[in-house]
Amino acid sequence: MRVIVIGAGLGGLTLAHGLRRAGIEVAVYERDGVLGRPQGVSLHVDDRGIAALRECLPPAHVAMVEATLGGAREQTLTLSDVEGELAVVAARSSDGMSGRARPGRQAHRPLLRAVLLTGLDDVVRFGAEFRRFEWRADGRVRAFFADGRTDTADVLVGADGVGSAVRRQYLPDVRVADTGRRVMMGATPLGVVAGLGLPGLIGDDPAVARVGGTTMALGVLRFGCRPVVAREKWLPALGSHAVAEIEDYVMWALPVTKERLGSPAEVWRQADEPHPALRSIVAETRQDVTAVLRIGVIPPMPAWPVTPVTVLGDAIHLAPGFGGNLAMRDANRLREALVEADRGRLDLLDAIGAYEDTMRRDSFPTSSAKASA
Ligand SMILES: Cc1cc2nc3c(=O)[nH]c(=O)nc-3n(C[C@H](O)[C@H](O)[C@H](O)COP(=O)(O)OP(=O)(O)OC[C@H]3O[C@@H](n4cnc5c(N)ncnc54)[C@H](O)[C@@H]3O)c2cc1C
């Protein structure tokens, strides 16, 4: 069996590792260059994401990821201004119910992606923008790329994120709604803000500060093991640039509307009654990792006819707080299905159909709110 994956994001790369380890030929086509574009600073990784990584990645990659996660996050704190000081005024357990986060740990997103890319040099083709596909008479699928390249395989997987070109052609009725909301995300070195008391106040838990009219999400990432040390121990093949100059930091995220975009300083000037500690965090942010991310919505889709083209992750369902975990879980489930077909234990279309049924059931908002496993 040969599989083409469009998109070298969290889901596409997890799938590529899983298929390769199962001896299935896979090629990943990625629109961006090797460095990619800023995709956010950190990621709350829960049991779904970790389980998928353990199933799909080589053991040394898993060890590298796990060694560099932050501490356990069991609850989400609410911070407010109490007589001029930031204080914890509420704590909500992370139980995964009603859209709440599940327990997990914080990962440095660029590092996770670099680990996922390690060892896939011969699999990932960068600068290859997918344009369209065609069915062939023999049941296989041919993919066409912007630079004139084509490739043919038994299965085509759209892991190409919210703007998925695979989904646009394959499921043209799916509409992605832009909510108009944006989140500006940045990272401020812990050493710079240690004197503010905030890192001690929130520990490893995610926190939401509500001060005056401003709402800001915060999370302290204290690497379990310094990435540079973990690389040496677990994954020397990981490029040294991926671990250079990474230090513990405070991740901050500020909701903004598309009308109120600008540099962090400009956005912050428009914030209502900013607290001095929050202002310092934004003022000292690392400009190079600051990113503005778009919040979209995809309404749940009824089942579609099964073919050798399928989709995973943000290409078909969106969940800004945990969509990466869902993308990695999809990747693992699709890997399982394709391995069953490759070994002749299931018909290919039955395997893809079973994957899609489970994916739809567990990943669209109404069912994910019930915290499916
Ligand atoms: C503000 C914010 C915070 C978030 N926080 C979290 C969190 O804490 N935890 C969590 O689990 N999730 C979080 N998410 C969600 C998470 O970022 C996504 O769900 C996740 O990245 C989806 O992975 P994916 O592999 O489906 O797509 P992506 O990671 O988006 O990867 C898609 C890839 O496809 C490539 N591509 C696109 N079009 C083409 C094309 N035509 N040809 C070739 N390649 C193409 C892209 O360049 C990209 O590399 C957050 C999202 C937002 C907006």
Ligand 1 centroid–CA 7 distance in Å is: 9
Identify the CATH number of the domain in which residue 192 sits: 3.30.9
Of 166-170, 200-204, 280-284, where does the model show the most confidence?
166-170
| Ligand 1 pocket, mutate which of 4, 5, 10 (most atoms under 8 A from CB) | 10
CA-nearest residue for atom 5, ligand 1, is 321
Return the CATH number at 362: 3.50.50.60
pLDDT band at residue 256 under the 50/70/90 scheme: confident
Q: Note the Cα 291 to chain centre separation in Å.
A: 14
Do the domain assignments include residue 120? no
Cα 275 to ligand 1 centroid, rounded to whole Å: 32
From ligand 1's centre to the CA of 161, what distance in Å?
Answer: 5
In this structure, the answer to whether residues 93 and 132 fall within a common structural domain is: no
Q: Whose CA is nearest to atom 20 of ligand 1?
A: 324
Ligand 1 first shell, C-beta below 6 A: 6-12, 29-32, 40, 43-44, 129-130, 159-161, 163, 165, 183, 185, 293, 295, 313-315, 320-325, 327
Residue 361: which domain range?
Answer: 1-33+126-176+298-373
More confident residue, 99 or 341: 341
For atom 51 of ligand 1, which residue has the closest CA? 320
Last residue of a domain, one of 295, 315, 348: 295
The pLDDT value given to residue 270: 62
pLDDT band at 368 (very low <50, low <70, confident <90, very high): very low
Q: What is the 3-state secondary structure (H, E, C) of the chain?
A: CEEEEECCCHHHHHHHHHHHHCCCEEEEECCCCCCCCCCCCEEEEEHHHHHHHHHHCCHHHHHHHHHCCCCEECEEEEEEEECCEEEEEEEEECCCHHHCCCCEEEEEHHHHHHHHHCCCCCCEECCCCEEEEEECCCCCEEEEECCCCEEEECEEEECCCCCCHHHHHHCCCCCCEEEEEEEEEEEEEHHHHHHHCHHHHHCCCCEEEEECCEEEEEEEECCCCCHHHHHHHHCCCCCHHHCCCCCCEEEEEEEEEHHHCCCHHHHHHCCCCCCHHHHHHHHCCCHHHCEEEEEEECCCCCCCCCCCEEECHHHCCCCCCCHHHHHHHHHHHHHHHHHHHHCCCCCHHHHHHHHHHHHHHHHCHHHHCCCCC
- The atom of ligand 1 lying closest to the CA of 185 is 1
Asked whether residue 58 is domain-assigned, the answer is: no
**Angle made by CA atoms 57, 245, 250, in degrees to the nearest 5:** 85
Share of the chain above pLDDT 70, in %: 93
Do 207 and 227 sit in the same domain of this protein?
Answer: yes
Q: What are the tens digits of pLDDT across the range 56-103?
A: 999 999 999 999 999 999 999 999 999 988 899 999 998 888 777 899
Check pLDDT > 70 for residue 30: yes
When pLDDT is averaged across residues 328-342 and rounded to a whole number, the result is 98
Q: How many percent of the chain have pLDDT more than 90?
A: 72
Atom in ligand 1 nearest the alpha carbon of residue 331: 25
Same domain, 211 and 281: yes
Q: What pLDDT, on the 0 to 100 scale, is given for residue 98?
A: 75
Asked if residue 269 belongs to a domain, the reply is yes
- Measured CA to CA, the distance from residue 161 to residue 372 in angstroms comes to 22
Give the model's confidence band at 40: pLDDT under 50 very low, under 70 low, under 90 confident, else very high. Answer: confident
Number of folded domains that form the chain: 2
Q: Are residues 309 and 373 in the same domain?
A: yes
Q: Whose CA is nearest to atom 14 of ligand 1?
A: 320
Segment 235-253, tens digit of pLDDT: 999 999 999 989 999 999 9
Indicate the pLDDT class of residue 371, thresholds 50, 70 and 90.
very low
* Atom 16 in ligand 1: residue holding the nearest Cα: 324
Mean pLDDT is lowest, of 4-18, 41-55, 183-197, 358-372, for 358-372
290 occurs within a structural domain: yes
Q: Which of 279, 295, 311 is the last residue of a domain?
A: 295
pLDDT the model gives residue 11: 98
Q: What is the pLDDT, as a whole number, of residue 234?
A: 98
- Residue having the nearest C-alpha atom to atom 10 of ligand 1: 322
Mean pLDDT of 197-208: 91
- The more confidently predicted of residues 180 and 323 is 323
